[in-house]
Amino acid sequence: MQLTKIGIKKLSRAGRHTDDQTKGLHLWVKVTGQKYWIFRYTYQGMRLGLSLGACPEVGLRQARERAIDQRRHRHFDNLLLTGITQSG
């Protein structure tokens, strides 16, 4: 789903809504209408989620930046844990 500022404000259907532009970024809408940004990733075969903050306190742009930053950190941490280093 293409998330936009206006679309997020209008979004009321409870559930997880995936941002097509940022891998792993989801907006979870509760039945109460509360909205939360979640970054979902896989670590050692386990599906995990990391809260990036509540919406609208954390906006779409900031949520995307946080998700991208977390993806970079998670990738680097996985490389360190498996003993692989990048050269270049």
Alpha helices in 1-88 (DSSP H): 5-10, 60-81
Give tens-digit pLDDT for 13-65. 999 999 999 999 999 999 999 999 999 988 778 888 999 999 999 999 999 99
Residue 13 counted as domain residue: yes
Tell me the C-alpha distance between 31 and 65, whole Å: 26
Q: What is the CATH number of the domain that holds 51?
A: 3.30.160.390
Total domains in the fold of the chain:
1
Residue 43 counted as domain residue: yes
Residue 25 counted as domain residue: yes
User: 31 lies in which domain range?
Assistant: 5-81
Give the pLDDT score at 2: 85
Global pTM? 0.80
